[in-house]
């Protein structure tokens, strides 16, 4: 089944335990902090459910499902998957980093190499099929809380700061502790829990992977402040009001997990291997780069439109900066397409985007996004600072004439100018904007981690062979040759 937006919204009306501003949330679909993003995700489900959008495929089991769950078997299927993911990315302008297609990609990667999970492989296959066939929204928390990052999990002051095994029972396990960074978790159906940061000997109690429904007893979510709250108008804050996903600390107060939902158990090697010895990390980051490419296109579209509105796009120095934006966006898109074109079909028959090109651009993501935002800031100048406090000044009889007279552009009325500049501010200057710059900087972890992926996956044998071949093409001077 491919569900629609109403079915998604109805699935969120359960007993999930979320606290924000000191109060328990009764219904995420109506609460001001989450209403905008749940409506936006509902739109994605409606889009996918419409056959005209070509986001439905027939699975290997004969069921129909959303293409975001596809296990690609060839280059063409990677392209089919990319086109489907792009439709969703365009619907959110690339500003929903943990939309339902992200962890769906990880689950597809897990299911394509179930042997990595050993005795729990059937659990992985069963849950993947269940999530796929029910079109579930699954999110994840895979990073321990930042209490003392110099110590391993088992070396912390208290035993259960990161989530770990408290008790083993015949029917399953009981876990206690916390994990971050639960982006979109408050508005999802299931949570995948694990640890992607390196674990050390002694950390076995924390070397686990499992899934659970968001309304599981003992599971509590503590979201950061909501950027949608207090924003009464989408006109004034078009991105904040619609695409604030929320990020949450997730706390496990002695939560019971049945064995059927356990993927790895007290196994450091398997917990690491699930990400990097399956296609999961590659497919998940492929989705992320499809989203980033769309986000950059949208952002440079705003830059191009603003410079055209003010007439500055005729200045050579402005064209230079627009050209720099174009180069950055084209680099991301080009590397994304190169990773697809040069894909590798592994021994299990899964088509993986080429890691050289994929991680090459992942390693530059923090710099590229920061660079794009810096240029957009330069191009909009002080115009984003000289806007009315809200749309109310545009309708108040005492103020509207001043706004229309003085905040406009040549040939463009005040409504159109203010609308565009409000959008620009929500990209570069609002709380929502600040969160996104920080988010893209650490999307895949610390810079040394993401560049480590690029280092390991580049394939240095090729450039070394070129250098060695050249060095071997000429002889040393006789004076340097060793005498026999």
Tens digits of residue pLDDT in 142-200: 999 877 776 777 777 788 999 999 999 999 999 999 999 899 999 999 999 999 999 99
Please, what is the Cα angle at 111 between 187 and 172, to 5 degrees? 70
- Considering the domain architecture, whether residues 302 and 252 belong to the same structural domain is answered as no
Buried b (16+ CB within 10 A) or exposed e, 77-97: bbbbbbebbebbbebbbbbbb
Judge whether 148 is annotated as a binding position.
Answer: yes
- Considering the domain architecture, whether residues 261 and 342 belong to the same structural domain is answered as no
Tell me, what CATH number does 198's domain have? 2.40.110.10
Residues in a beta bridge with 345: 351
- Considering the domain architecture, whether residues 109 and 240 belong to the same structural domain is answered as yes
Helix (H) or strand (E) holding 56: strand 56-58
> Which of 60-74, 139-153, 440-454 shows the highest mean pLDDT?
60-74
Instruction: Report the distance separating Cα 151 and Cα 261, nearest Å.
Output: 29
Tens digits of residue pLDDT in 198-230: 999 999 999 999 999 999 999 999 999 999 999
Q: Which residue from 16, 8, 13, 43 is spatially nearest to 30, judged by alpha carbons? A: 13
- Considering the domain architecture, whether residues 252 and 387 belong to the same structural domain is answered as no
Q: Which sign, positive or negative, has the C-alpha torsion 439, 445, 450, 451?
A: positive
- Residue 233: helix, strand or coil by DSSP? coil
User: From the centroid of its chain, how far is CA 1?
Assistant: 24
- Considering the domain architecture, whether residues 113 and 253 belong to the same structural domain is answered as yes
Residue 171 falls within a domain, yes or no?
yes
- Considering the domain architecture, whether residues 265 and 171 belong to the same structural domain is answered as yes
Give the per-residue SS3 of 256-282. EEEHHHEEEECCHHHHHHHHHCCCHHH
- Considering the domain architecture, whether residues 249 and 327 belong to the same structural domain is answered as no
Domain count across the chain: 2
Q: Which of 259, 276, 293 is the last residue of a domain?
A: 276
pLDDT of residue 419: 95
Query: Are the C-beta atoms of 408 and 417 separated by less than 8 Å?
Result: yes
Judge whether 146 is annotated as a binding position.
Answer: yes
- Considering the domain architecture, whether residues 318 and 387 belong to the same structural domain is answered as yes
- DSSP letter for 208, please: E
Tell me, what CATH number does 325's domain have? 1.20.140.10
- Considering the domain architecture, whether residues 415 and 326 belong to the same structural domain is answered as yes
Residue 476 falls within a domain, yes or no?
no
Q: What are all long-range contacts of 308-317, with beta carbons under 8 Å and residues at least 24 apart?
A: 309/409, 309/412, 309/416, 309/417, 309/420, 310/383, 310/409, 311/409, 311/410, 312/379
Q: Are strands 138-141 and 64-66 parallel, antiparallel or unpaired?
A: unpaired
User: From the centroid of its chain, how far is CA 156?
Assistant: 29
- Residue 341: helix, strand or coil by DSSP? helix
Q: How many CA atoms lie within 13 A of 2 on its CB side?
A: 22
Q: Which of 246, 276, 306 is the last residue of a domain?
A: 276
Phi, then psi, of 308 in degrees rounded to 5: -70, -40
Q: Are strands 138-141 and 190-193 parallel, antiparallel or unpaired?
A: parallel
Residue 115 falls within a domain, yes or no?
yes
Owner of token pair 């392209």? 79
Tens digits of residue pLDDT in 389-415: 999 998 999 999 998 998 888 888 999
- Considering the domain architecture, whether residues 272 and 285 belong to the same structural domain is answered as no
Residue 478 falls within a domain, yes or no?
no
- Residue 325: helix, strand or coil by DSSP? helix
Summary mean pLDDT of the chain: 94
Contacts of 131 (CB under 8 A, 6+ apart): 69, 104, 107, 138, 190
Task: Detail the DSSP E strand segments found in 199-341.
Answer: 208-213, 219-223, 248-258, 262-265
- Considering the domain architecture, whether residues 284 and 233 belong to the same structural domain is answered as no
Residue 104 falls within a domain, yes or no?
yes
Q: And the tokens for 398?
A: 């005492």
Of the given ranges (54-58, 144-148, 259-263, 465-469), which has the lowest mean pLDDT? 144-148
Judge whether 187 is annotated as a binding position.
Answer: no
Residue 479 falls within a domain, yes or no?
no
pLDDT of residue 54: 96
Question: Residue 265 — very low, low, confident or very high, per pLDDT cuts 50/70/90?
Answer: very high
Q: Are strands 248-258 and 172-179 parallel, antiparallel or unpaired?
A: antiparallel
Residues in a beta bridge with 212: 191
Of the given ranges (245-249, 311-315, 453-457), which has the lowest mean pLDDT? 453-457
Q: Which domain holds residue 422?
A: 279-467
Between these two residues, 442 and 361, which has the higher pLDDT value?
361
- Considering the domain architecture, whether residues 239 and 329 belong to the same structural domain is answered as no
Question: Residue 421 — very low, low, confident or very high, per pLDDT cuts 50/70/90?
Answer: very high
Residue 381 falls within a domain, yes or no?
yes
- DSSP letter for 217, please: T
Residue 243 falls within a domain, yes or no?
yes
pTM for the complete prediction? Answer: 0.93
Tens digits of residue pLDDT in 267-305: 999 999 999 999 999 999 999 999 999 999 999 999 999
pLDDT of residue 150: 65
Judge whether 183 is annotated as a binding position.
Answer: yes
Judge whether 147 is annotated as a binding position.
Answer: yes
Contacts of 407 (CB under 8 A, 6+ apart): 386, 387, 388, 414, 417, 418
Question: Residue 478 — very low, low, confident or very high, per pLDDT cuts 50/70/90?
Answer: confident
């Amino acid at each position: 089944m491919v569900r629609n937006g109403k079915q998604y919204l109805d699935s969120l009306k359960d007993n999930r335990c979320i606290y924000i501003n000191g109060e328990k949330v009764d219904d995420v679909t109506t609460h001001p902090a989450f209403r905008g993003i749940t409506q936006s995700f509902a739109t994605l489900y409606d889009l996918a459910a419409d056959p005209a959008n070509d986001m439905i495929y027939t699975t290997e089991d004969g069921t129909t499902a959303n293409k975001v769950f596809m296990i690609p078997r060839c280059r063409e299927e990677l392209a089919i998957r990319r086109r489907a993911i792009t439709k969703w990315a365009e619907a959110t302008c690339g500003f929903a980093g943990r939309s339902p297609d992200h962890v769906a990609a990880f689950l597809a990667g897990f299911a394509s190499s179930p042997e990595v999970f050993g005795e729990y492989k059937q659990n992985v296959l069963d849950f993947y099929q269940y999530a796929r066939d029910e079109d579930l929204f699954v999110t994840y928390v895979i990073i321990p809380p930042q209490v003392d990052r110099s110590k391993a999990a088992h070396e912390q002051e208290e035993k259960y700061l990161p989530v770990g095994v408290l008790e083993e029972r015949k029917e399953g396990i009981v876990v206690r502790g916390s994990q971050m960074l639960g982006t979109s978790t408050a508005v999802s159906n299931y949570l995948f829990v694990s640890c992607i940061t390196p674990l050390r000997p002694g950390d076995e109690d924390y070397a686990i992977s499992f899934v659970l429904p968001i309304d599981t007893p003992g599971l509590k979510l503590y979201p950061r402040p909501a950027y949608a709250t207090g924003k009464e108008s989408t006109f004034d804050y078009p991105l904040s009001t619609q695409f604030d996903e929320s990020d949450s600390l997730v706390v496990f107060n002695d939560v019971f997990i049945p064995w059927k939902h356990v993927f790895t158990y007290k196994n450091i090697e398997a917990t690491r291997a699930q990400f990097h010895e399956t296609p999961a990390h590659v497919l998940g980051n492929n989705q992320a780069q499809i989203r980033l490419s769309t986000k950059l296109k949208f952002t440079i579209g705003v830059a191009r439109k603003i410079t055209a509105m003010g007439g500055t796009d005729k200045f050579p120095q402005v064209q230079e900066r627009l050209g720099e934006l174009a180069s950055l966006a084209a680099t991301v898109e080009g590397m994304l397409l190169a990773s697809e074109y040069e894909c590798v079909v592994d021994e299990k028959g899964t088509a993986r985007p080429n890691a050289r090109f994929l991680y090459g651009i992942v390693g530059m993501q923090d710099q590229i996004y920061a660079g794009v935002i810096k240029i957009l800031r330069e191009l909009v100048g002080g115009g984003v600072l000289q806007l009315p406090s809200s749309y109310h000044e545009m309708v108040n009889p005492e103020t509207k004439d001043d706004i229309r007279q003085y905040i406009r552009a040549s040939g463009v009325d005040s409504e159109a100018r203010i609308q565009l500049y409000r959008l620009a501010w929500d990209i570069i200057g609002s709380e929502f904007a600040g969160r996104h710059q920080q988010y893209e900087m650490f999307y895949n972890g610390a810079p040394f981690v993401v560049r480590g992926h690029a280092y390991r996956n580049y394939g240095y044998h090729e450039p070394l062979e070129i250098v060695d071949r050249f060095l071997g093409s000429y002889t040393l001077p006789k004076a340097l040759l060793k005498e026999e």
